[in-house]
Structure 1
């Protein structure tokens, strides 16, 4: 591995490289590139290739990311339909503190106005995943407190090729994934679909409705590349996407007593709960090669997302969280309401009906040059982005009579249930990577200017505005990273950068964004049979922010909670260590190998000084919620390449505090130890059959208490499948 090769891999991979004249391929937008490119990055990086994903056949992004150190995952429904992903202490709720991208484009429904990721593409169709932390995240904002994750879609192949995959399993699980594409001359195309359904693993009291889902994704790509002999080389790629989901999911969990009796039970109050959503996306990318060392890449994008999550929100004048708390405290009436043995009026089932729009244009100019015998790779970029969320959320009222929900009324939406939130954001960034002998220095600057506003309506017809909020934020962020290549096998890295996460559009005037200063330092050893990354990190939060939502309401010091806007926790500190090991434990002369992959993360995070101006119910010394102190993932395999393979993955997550005080067992999740097994066999070089068992030993624990009660992980679930490439 040559140092020069490392430099150019790290520098040019993110920028849509169009190869020399013999290639007509426009690659997907990588933010890291291959695993080899990560060696010289001045920041923690983790790459899952398509081969890695196919070995385990996961369709839950939580399971896919469990091997990435420094990434925290909070399960909710067992399938990863609405993931909760955090990085290095950044809040995991609805992944709202992570810059989530697909092919380099922000993919949250409204990243600035309402960043909670209620939309997520079907993870089973991903072609690769990249996780980036450290100073390099300043290039991929707006959320730079933790890191960035880029999900790669299937690329257009250089020659006619396709794939068909079919899978069936327990609980009515069905999955189909197929794509076909080709390149002919200057033109290339790809058509793809991924479809997955399940009956679910929970049973609803007194109801025959299943608790599963039906999710469908469709992708189409069309690419044009200039002729090989053209004096001006360029390429265009159009990507169209559509997805739909119907899932019988709820916010209502279980009391601890009911969880321990049957973790897969669901109360009859949630019998009507159902999410129904549709997503449409379009992205047009353009590459212009301006010379051997200069290129301009641009993308215009628009995403639309509509959802109606019809779900129970309260009963008898009590919210779901309060009902569960009362039941845990021994309240017989609350238990009877949950069991369905006590009649109760005023069961509210809300249409959480929202329409999101996100659109923008971004451009990057990459230029490599030499000054004073120093090699530079500079990237200058800018983005203008607009997004909006329109909430019109009426409530249907029922009475629980003899355990059955009987319609009794309707409440038209006003106030917080009838509001529009908008954000306009200008972003600009400058990254200069300088090669000085064996030292690579990377300086980064980012500018964010965000104007957000929200209006609430006092009547269902929106004739009167009952409240207006607005907030303007401008920040300049800086970062510096360094990598020293001791040899082809050893490198040292260090970095510091400013973290930033804007508040949502319902924030009032003067609400500060979440801000931090983040440090990291470590070493990498990449030998012939062993790769080791060991990185320590420390984040000093000047302002720790929580965006309030129904899923994660903000507890207030005076009692009660709020489900919109933002509150400040004050100052906090997060520190820890990440360890990633990849090794070939044994290799036989006939090619039989025993691969190993290990990821371990140690983390401590707490409030160091609570905010005097905030109403949040936190105190100095409180722990940050949903942040495990220890977590680890180990995969051991036995494989004969191109013939067969088997992989055993063991994941451990220590119990987490769900509130800052963490005073008792009701404010913690359980320790979790789960083992997954996957095995595959090639019938021919192009046809593979496989089997998998998630949660081999059927270990179910309380993995979350948000939203509204104790929630289990997926029980033991087996599936069989076949995949054919052609």
Structure 2
């Protein structure tokens, strides 16, 4: 496999690489530019493409700590719930698929944060949503600037910025199921220096009960962030700024893939079978990012960054019993097999119960450099950015199996299996990316012309022995792709704009893909209208994605249609089309009161358009976990700076959990329920800097089947109440 260690080392020694940063400050400033990729909600009006921003004010109104709930406010974004807390989000954009967010570009402060986006795209790590300062979602041609996944779009979460003056915040929260949350930050800027220290800690006992066990089903997660910034003095000949960000998080959560049979779900949605009593996720994440901003002229700047993320996890969970996978056991019980049901209930003894240590170590590191230059050519304004990135990532899987017997409803350890083959493998990828984007303004016409090039070399090795002395299988693959995009926005007047765009989409196939496996490729179109007038904004955007090659990464969480849980499978051709509607406004204002409203609606239709050679995927099959209709409506009543109350109603259609569920002869138990959930949040300011709040998630306690993959029916979280206080200083 072609290696790129030399360029990485050279750039690292130079201490610089580029970060995809918004051009929000003039080039003659020596301050670091903002780490957002869009800016404010006002900035979306003139973008040649679809974009949405959840500001810090938006997030504080609802006090969500689950990114799934946050993203319901953004049209064109799909989320798949799993354990009820959003610990391992499943996010898709415009039909990309939601499994572990493995088909979208996920960033924090503009830097890729997936544990191994090229080698193993499934993002089992995600920052704690409770500490987010903002969330941005970008779609359309501009996404070619933020790869590698350019089919649907990019998600950028913003961390707390270093304050311009001395400032801080303390937030404490408590709730049902022994929920506790603390969020504290303090920072200051003085002269050329600035700093920030932050921690976010959250725990809960969970809302499920494990049969015959006193172990809770909750989690304990801790985040720490430190930032240090230096800027050159205003009198310096060379204007520049440097910022170092260090982060660490740890999580222990007693969560499982094991769900319920439909009959047991209807009896008690919050039950968990005793076979999953020992299931537990234990992970740690460490990240470092060094950013540099250098002014080269009045309209020219170089923005650089060096980043490295290390993620270690062991998800110890039940995989099989009596030689049968847990998913098959659930399916048999659903179909009336009394023995299978007795095993799940703990009423029947069974040997060879296997719990796998899904033990993995991820490393992701890279360097980027991006040059920004603005110039006038005649009457046309150009803002040109060009950048390159060298990136390496790796996942090391060493996954031994512990064997138990179920005796009288209890698990008794009986053996240990050393890992070989698929449970003992290393996957790695080297990637080179280059991009060029030109934002062109000609009177009322805004154009975005973009190019992106991706070159990815990947390698996977499986070992025949635990000591890794013998390689049993080696696969290499190489993909490269040049993508282009063109977007246009026509500003009709100060309030109305028309937009349209087309761009080519790309997603790498993962390092376990066999030699010759093509990347996912598509051509994506969008067209719509946008309106902005003071507090009122609205947009309606139609989209269409034509996939030349649809690729599914196979995993235990989302097995491929051919049954594989390792590697990838190509679906061939498919199409996704839909409509996004977004609205922000005020229903009423008077007597010091305001009634805000926010609406996000998405209609989607997606299907396979080509039958696979092995017939596991057929023309007309649906795309999994893709709801036809989803809607989020927030109604509020507030007296600014004194109090506010917000009622959020979310509706999501039922979805198919695999491609076969809509076939006339397809198997049963292959779709989720549609569901409607109402959340309520209210806050009151005791003083200008002291706010107390209360919230109730799932106000009417409606629990439905929101997931079935991989091992049975699982619910959304039940009604849960919280109270908290936030003090700023």
Correspondent of 2:415 among 395, 404, 409: 409
CA contact (8 A) 1:72 1:87 kept: yes
CA contact (8 A) 1:24 1:158 kept: no
Cα deviation 1:210-235 (Å, max 9, x = unaligned)? 00000000000000000011121100
Tell me, in whole angstroms, the C-alpha distance in 1 between the residues paired with 2:38 and 2:219: 33
CA contact (8 A) 1:627 1:657 kept: yes
Q: 1:699 and 2:707 equivalent?
A: no
Give how far 1:528 is off. 2.8
Tell me, in whole angstroms, the C-alpha distance in 1 between the residues paired with 2:679 and 2:250: 28
1:485-504 aligned within 5 A = 485-504=491-510
Q: 1:440 and 2:453 equivalent?
A: no
Tell me, in whole angstroms, the C-alpha distance in 1 between the residues paired with 2:304 and 2:615: 42
Cα deviation 1:561-589 (Å, max 9, x = unaligned)? 1111100111001001000011111010x
Cα deviation 1:233-263 (Å, max 9, x = unaligned)? 1000000000000000111111111111100
1:64-103 aligned within 5 A = 64-103=70-109
Partner of 2:539: 533
CA contact (8 A) 1:16 1:30 kept: no
Correspondent of 2:135 among 124, 129, 145: 129
Correspondent of 2:368 among 345, 357, 362: 362
Q: How many pairs does the alignment contain?
A: 707
Give how far 1:372 is off. 2.7
Partner of 1:221: 227
Partner of 1:394: 400
CA contact (8 A) 1:14 1:32 kept: no
Partner of 1:470: 476
CA contact (8 A) 1:28 1:155 kept: no
Cα deviation 1:590-630 (Å, max 9, x = unaligned)? 32100000010000000011233xx4621100010000000
Q: List gaps (5 residues or longer) in structure 1.
A: 1-11
Correspondent of 2:249 among 224, 243, 247: 243
Give how far 1:661 is off. 2.2
Partner of 1:592: 593
Q: 1:689 and 2:696 equivalent?
A: no
Partner of 1:649: 648
Tell me, in whole angstroms, the C-alpha distance in 2 between the residues paired with 1:438 and 1:27: 27
CA contact (8 A) 1:360 1:383 kept: yes
1:79-478 aligned within 5 A = 79-478=85-484
Greater Cα offset, 452-461 or 290-299: 290-299
Aligned CA distance change for structure 1 residues 549 and 616 (closer, same or farther; 3 Å): farther
Tell me, in whole angstroms, the C-alpha distance in 1 between the residues paired with 2:282 and 2:525: 42
Correspondent of 2:721 among 718, 721, 725: 718
Q: List gaps (5 residues or longer) in structure 2.
A: 1-18
Partner of 2:691: helix, strand, or coil?
Answer: strand
Give how far 1:550 is off. 1.0
Tell me, in whole angstroms, the C-alpha distance in 2 between the residues paired with 1:665 and 1:531: 44
Give how far 1:472 is off. 0.1
Tell me, in whole angstroms, the C-alpha distance in 2 between the residues paired with 1:525 and 1:554: 42
Q: 1:659 and 2:666 equivalent?
A: no
1:538-549 aligned within 5 A = 538-549=544-555
Partner of 2:8: none
Cα deviation 1:48-85 (Å, max 9, x = unaligned)? 00010000000000000001000001000000000000
Cα deviation 1:382-418 (Å, max 9, x = unaligned)? 1000000000000000000000000000000000000
CA contact (8 A) 2:594 2:638 kept: yes
Tell me, in whole angstroms, the C-alpha distance in 2 between the residues paired with 1:689 and 1:339: 44
Partner of 1:609: helix, strand, or coil?
Answer: coil
Give how far 1:14 is off. 4.0
Give how far 1:708 is off. 1.0
Partner of 1:563: 565
1:488-527 aligned within 5 A = 488-527=494-533
Cα deviation 1:504-525 (Å, max 9, x = unaligned)? 1000000011110000000001
Q: Normalized against structure 2, the TM-score is what?
A: 0.96
Tell me, in whole angstroms, the C-alpha distance in 1 between the residues paired with 2:689 and 2:122: 40
Q: 1:15 and 2:26 equivalent?
A: no
Tell me, in whole angstroms, the C-alpha distance in 2 between the residues paired with 1:479 and 1:529: 32
Partner of 1:145: helix, strand, or coil?
Answer: coil
Partner of 1:108: helix, strand, or coil?
Answer: coil
Partner of 1:7: none
Greater Cα offset, 365-374 or 599-608: 365-374
Partner of 1:603: 604
Tell me, in whole angstroms, the C-alpha distance in 1 between the residues paired with 2:204 and 2:194: 34
Tell me, in whole angstroms, the C-alpha distance in 2 between the residues paired with 1:102 and 1:169: 28
CA contact (8 A) 1:139 1:444 kept: yes
Give how far 1:28 is off. 3.7
Aligned CA distance change for structure 1 residues 594 and 664 (closer, same or farther; 3 Å): farther
Give how far 1:18 is off. 4.7
Tell me, in whole angstroms, the C-alpha distance in 2 between the residues paired with 1:27 and 1:428: 21
